[in-house]
Amino acid sequence: MPRHRSVKFQHRGNGNGNGHDQRRQSLSTASDSTSEPPSPSREGDNSRNGSIVKGEKEGDVSDYEKKKATFITRTIWTFAMITGFFGAMFAGHVYVLMIITAVQIVSFKEVIAIAQVPTRQKNLPLTRSLNWYFLVITMYFLYGESVIYYFKHILLVDKVLLPFATHHRFISFMMYIFGFVFFVGSLKKGHYKFQFTQFAWTHMALFLIVVQAHFMMNNVFEGMIWFFLPVSLVITNDIFAYICGITFGRTQLIKISPKKTVEGFVGAWICTIFFGFALTNILIRYKYFICPVNDLGANIFTGLECTPNPVFVPQPYYMPAWTGVEYTLWIEPMQFHILIFATFASLIAPFGGFFASGLKRSFKIKDFGDSIPGHGGMTDRMDCQFIMGFFAYMYYESFIAVYRTSVGAVIESAIVGLTPEEQVEVVKGLGKYLYNQGVISQKVCSHYILHKS
């Protein structure tokens, strides 16, 4: 005799809610279909048992509570990050450098993690170790380059640090070659494609995250304004893009990020320019922001002293003769440069976020991680910041930086280009010059010259 098809009623769940959710989804799908006639049995089920309606209300309440908890968590961590950021910035440049270091390590970890395959890594335990080894080597090279460039007047006169400073690039290269050789030696048959994919993925992450973060650190050394201003512009643009988008956004901007609109994109650009002008006008008044780092122990209270870059000094601009108006406008050149910074932060930097969105979609993930509760991963918050920091450094070095002979450069030239006897002659000549200028006393000059003779 024929076997009857078993029927499962919706109010007879298995206790974990999975079957109930799946059946609700199938009902929803069926009701959206216009090609399928309505089923009396389904309508009867909806009216037959009040527990379903009750269950849906409970689900709605549960979703509301979940969104509420997420919002609260997101808000708390937002204020915590803002407080920590400003606290570190006012405490001194060293603390900002520590934050950048932590950000790039966490971001590297998140990007590497999405391409890892645990089942294969069990057979290739050295893959993860090599990833972190290349990170350490890259950071050693980049950090060393920055420290030597900005503090060579300290490193080159130290007996212990001198060999590391003068041979830094060769040491870094050999350490990388050691990792390269180790990678080739670890190749296993049947895993070649996976291993080379991991190798390429690691180097991509190093370039997109660690290298670009390195230039953000250089921005800090050149002056806090070159770090804080680009970061603020990106954050401001993101906020105004959201506000303008939900207010009058109609036209989709890019398919990879469907919620972005042209109106929000352009509106945020205009708002970011005005914000940039206002913020720049405030920051250029404080030497703590505009002076390059010459004391790593400085903070907002001790401040810094320097001769301001000409870009921060007001310059006269005259009205054109054809206007018939004789008026002189005094304005800092930085106010013109901020137009370029704000435009890049609004029109180009968001594509770093679009790139990250496409990357996440290719791996079918929502966030890079959960490093920041309520916000997702660190990379989700920094995707636009890295490219903006890179641009800020390149623009500064190309159009704003003033190149002068530094103490470190003179010492480096003397050490590298002169013999010990010639170096002694330089010291004697410099001592006599300083004495003639009244900078040092005759006793100090005689003592210095006699000891060097």
pLDDT tens-place string over residues 109-155: 999 988 877 656 667 778 888 999 999 999 999 999 998 888 877 77
pLDDT at 404: 65
Given the DSSP bridges, would you call strands 328-331 and 257-261 parallel, antiparallel or unpaired? unpaired
- Residue 318 Ramachandran class (φ > 0 left, ψ -120 to 50 alpha, else beta): beta
> Which DSSP state fits 400?
I
- Diameter of the chain measured on Cα atoms: 122
> Which DSSP state fits 311?
G
> Which DSSP state fits 321?
G
pLDDT < 50: residue spans in the chain:
1-58
Give the torsion sign (CA, 280, 342, 149, 138).
positive
Q: How far is CA 346 from CA 46, 381, 395, 435, in A?
A: 51, 16, 16, 55
**Close Cβ partners of 162 (under 8 Å, ≥ 6 residues apart):** 155, 156, 415
Backbone angles phi, psi at 297, to 5 degrees: -90, 0
- Helix H or strand E encompassing 258: strand 257-261
pLDDT at 397: 93
pLDDT tens-place string over residues 209-244: 999 999 999 999 999 999 999 999 999 999 999 899
Backbone angles phi, psi at 329, to 5 degrees: -105, 125
Q: Which amino acid is at 44?
A: G
Say how many C-beta atoms besides its own lie within 10 A of residue 368's C-beta.
25
Of the candidates 277, 229, 247, 268, the one whose C-alpha atom is nearest the C-alpha of residue 353 is: 268
Q: How far apart are CA 246 and CA 254, in angstroms?
A: 16
Name the β-bridge partners of 261. 252
**Domain-wise residue ranges, the chain:** 418-452
pLDDT at 38: 44
Cα of 352 vs its chain's centroid, Å: 11
Count of alpha carbons within 13 Å of 11, Cβ hemisphere only? 10
